[in-house]
Amino acid sequence: MSPQSTRAAVAKAARIVVKVGSSSLALPGGGVDTARVRELVHVLSERAAAGSQVLLVSSGAIATGFPRLGLSRRPRDLATQQAAASVGQGLLLSEWSSAFADRGITVGQVLLTADDMTRRTHYRNAQRTLEKLLEMRVVPIVNENDTVATDEIKLGDNDRLAALVAHLVHADALVLLSDVDGLYDGPPSKGGSQLISSVADPADLSGVAVGGIGEAGVGLGGMATKVEAARIATAAGVPVVLARASAAADALAGREVGTVFLPTGRRTPTRLLWLTHASTPQGRLYLDDGAVNAVTKGRKSLLPAGVTRVEGDFSAGDPVDLLDQNGHAVARGLVNFDASELPGLIGRSTRDLARERGPAYEREVIHRDDLVILDGSPTRP
The number of distinct structural domains making up the chain is: 2
Structure confidence at residue 34 as a pLDDT band (50, 70, 90): very high
Name the residue with higher pLDDT: 293 or 208: 293
The SS3 call for residue 205 is helix
Q: How confident is the model at residue 180 (pLDDT cuts 50, 70, 90)?
A: confident
Lowest mean pLDDT among 5-14, 226-235, 248-257: 226-235
Q: How confident is the model at residue 76 (pLDDT cuts 50, 70, 90)?
A: confident
Question: Are 79 and 166 within one domain?
Answer: yes
Q: Please answer whether residues 331 and 375 qualify as being in contact, where contact means their C-beta atoms are separated by less than 8 angstroms.
A: no
Which pLDDT score is estimated for 149? Answer: 55
Average pLDDT over residues 294-314: 94
| Among candidate residues 256, 274, 292, the one where a domain is terminated | 274
10-24, 29-43, 264-278, 312-326: which has the minimum mean pLDDT? 264-278
Domain residue limits at 348: 281-373
What does the alpha-carbon distance between residue 357 and residue 351 come to, in Å, rounded to a whole number?
10
Residue that finishes a domain, picked among 239, 274, 309:
274
pLDDT in tens, 237-249: 999 999 999 999 9
Residue 360 burial class via C-beta count within 10 angstroms: exposed 0-12, middle 13-18, buried 19 and up: exposed
Is residue 210 in a domain? yes
Question: Do 245 and 345 fall into the same domain?
Answer: no
| Whether the Cβ atoms of residue 56 and residue 96 lie closer than 8 Å to each other | yes
**Is 251 found in the same domain as 288?**
no
State the pLDDT at residue 210: 55
Could you give the percent of the chain with pLDDT greater than 70? 87
- CB neighbour list of residue 360: distance below 8 Å, 6 or more residues apart: none
In a domain, 379, yes or no: no
- Fill in the DSSP letter of residue 159: H
- Of 177, 196, 289, 287, nearest to 242 by C-alpha is 177
Those residues whose C-beta lies under 8 Å from the C-beta of residue 175, and which sit 6 or more positions away, are 10, 16, 17, 18, 19, 240, 241, 242, 243, 248, 251, 252
Cα–Cα nearest to 342, from 367, 314, 370? 314
- Cα dist. 73→15, 66, 81, 84, 86 in Å? 36, 7, 11, 11, 16
Among 274, 303, 320, residue at a domain's last position: 274
Residue 381 belongs to some domain of the structure = no
CATH of the domain at 351: 2.30.130.10
What is the mean predicted confidence (pLDDT) over 198-211?
71
Written as one letter, the residue type at 90 is G
Contact 156, 166 (CB under 8 A): no
CA dihedral of residues 231, 224, 331, 325 (deg, nearest 10): 140
Helix (H, G, I), strand (E, B) or coil at 214: strand
Confidence of residue 220 (pLDDT cuts 50, 70, 90): very low
Residue 378 lies in a domain: no
Q: Is the pLDDT of residue 221 over 50?
A: no
> Is 219 within 8 Å of 59 (Cβ atoms)?
yes
Pairing of strands 15-20, 173-178: parallel
Give yes or no: residues 18 and 160 share one domain: yes
pLDDT digits (tens, 9 = 90+) for 79-103: 898 899 899 999 999 999 999 999 9
Q: Would strands 259-261 and 240-244 be described as parallel, antiparallel, or unpaired?
A: antiparallel
Give the pairing type, strands 198-199 and 307-312. Answer: unpaired
Give the integer Cα–Cα distance in Å for 320 and 332. 6
Q: Are residues 261 and 285 in the same domain?
A: no
Query: Domain check: are 204 and 221 in the same one?
Result: yes
Q: Are residues 205 and 60 in the same domain?
A: yes
